[in-house]
Amino acid sequence: MMDMVLQQPLYKRLATGDWLYALLIVLTAGYSLKLFGSAMDYYEQLILLGCGAGLVALGWFWKSWRWFFPLAGAVSLAAIALYDHNLARAGQSFGLKFIFSSQSSFMWMCTLFFLATGVYWAGLLARSAWLQRMASGLTWSAAVFALAGLFTRWYESYLIAPDVGRIPVSNLYEVFILFCLITALMYLYYEAKFAVRAVGAFVLLVISAAVGFILWYTFDRQAHEIQPLIPALQSWWMKIHVPANFVGYGAFAMSAMLGVAQLLIQRGILVNRLPPAEVLDEVMYKAIAVGFLFFTIATILGAMWAADAWGGYWSWDPKETWALIVWLNYAAWLHMRLVKGWRGAPLAWWAAGGLLVTSFAFIGVNMFLSGLHSYGTL
């Protein structure tokens, strides 16, 4: 029966809800183009239309996205309405001060991710399906606040000044939030598809570690303050290169934690509380395959951006070099699985160790090495 359904044309497999969601995205994209099209160049208009098409496809592919994305947009629109074109209202309006401003949304995100981590572990150790469902709900809620906060921060940057306005993926503070969001969403998708809710206790650990960095970076370095873009980042390339990059980072981080869980099972630890090792191995493979695809796209886009900005596709800058190391690491991982037929512990160890390589490429280069990408330092 399922094979017969999949053989039908796409338009016959779509329900009324799919078409209503697509209509919402088309109308929103069209309205945005009408409002801001005159301020966009040709490439930015293409990015907007491409994002609209991508959001429709994602909603058709992943049904949960059809309520998640509009809900995050509605929260952000509530913040925009409360601002009423006046950034000073962030400290005057109760709703903005405690719920809807970008900083408030991010603090809710941090709190909910921490809570979700604890509840996932409680559900795992107690074998409580109810606690695990609650943890999933907390993770979804955190993701809503993360995406809404990014949308709101984008609007806030334009309230400061038109020439300050930009997409909020330009510094470590913003991309760590993006990392938390993407990693959580990828996990939630695989959690539902493969019924691996118990492994959320492990995946949320790496997200909580990123949340800890966000909180330190906020209160110790005041990184939450919106700053103008430096000239090197004033490009439409950033809108596509950075998100694609962090789909890769999020997938690789999730696969590392799946590898850790798989290794524990193989040693008889939590074996009756976690999904079978074979299931985790399959999810780990799919996550790395998706991450590798997007990381490859991001690397190509980065080379094209470099040629546009600096006149050359590749300069062996430390960031570029470590991006290549990450790419080669997961290319070799996929080769060993698909061509050599490796399974089990070797690939699990490799995926877990890959987190160290990815982490250094993500943040270590910014901390210890200098080069053309030194604008991302701590």
Q: DSSP string of 170-226?
A: SSHHHHHHHHHHHHHHHHHHHHHHHT-GGGHHHHHHHHHHHHHHHHHHHHHH-TTS-
**In 10 A of CB 346, how many CB atoms?**
13
Apex CA 88: angle with CA 82 and CA 90, to 5°? 50
Q: DSSP string of 258-317?
A: HHHHHHHHHTTSSTTTS--HHHHHHHHHHHHHHHHHHHHHHHHHHHHHHHHHHS-S----
Task: Collect all residues with Cβ–Cβ distance below 8 Å to 164 and sequence separation of at least 6.
Answer: 157, 158, 226, 227, 228, 229
Tens digit of each residue's pLDDT (9 = 90 or more) over 232-252: 788 889 999 999 999 999 999
pLDDT-above-90 percentage for the chain: 81
Q: How confident is the model at residue 39 (pLDDT cuts 50, 70, 90)?
A: confident
Instruction: Report the b/e string of 105-142 with b at 16+ CB within 10 A.
Output: bbbbbbebbbbbbebbbebbeeeeeebbebbbebbbbb
Contact 144, 71 (CB under 8 A): yes
Rg (CA), the chain: 21
Give the mean model confidence (pLDDT) for residues 98-114. 97
Whole-number pLDDT of residue 378: 64
Centroid of chain to Cα 284? 17
**In 10 A of CB 237, how many CB atoms?**
18
What is the domain partition of the chain in residue ranges? 15-61, 64-227, 230-378
Contact 295, 248 (CB under 8 A): yes
Residue 321 is given by DSSP the state: H
Question: Tokens 């990381």 appear where?
Answer: 295
Whole-number pLDDT of residue 370: 67
Whole-number pLDDT of residue 310: 82
Q: How many residues does the chain have?
A: 378
Reading the block at residue 145, the tokens are 């606040």
Q: What is the C-alpha separation between 264 and 348, in angstroms, rounded?
A: 10
Residue 99 is given by DSSP the state: I
Whole-number pLDDT of residue 230: 82
Tens digit of each residue's pLDDT (9 = 90 or more) over 132-185: 999 999 999 999 999 999 999 999 999 999 889 999 998 999 999 999 999 999
Q: What is the C-alpha separation between 95 and 84, in angstroms, rounded?
A: 13
Give the mean model confidence (pLDDT) for residues 70-77. 97
Contact 159, 83 (CB under 8 A): yes
Tens digit of each residue's pLDDT (9 = 90 or more) over 264-285: 999 999 999 999 999 999 999 9
Give the mean model confidence (pLDDT) for residues 338-354. 96
Contact 233, 168 (CB under 8 A): no
**In 10 A of CB 45, how many CB atoms?**
14
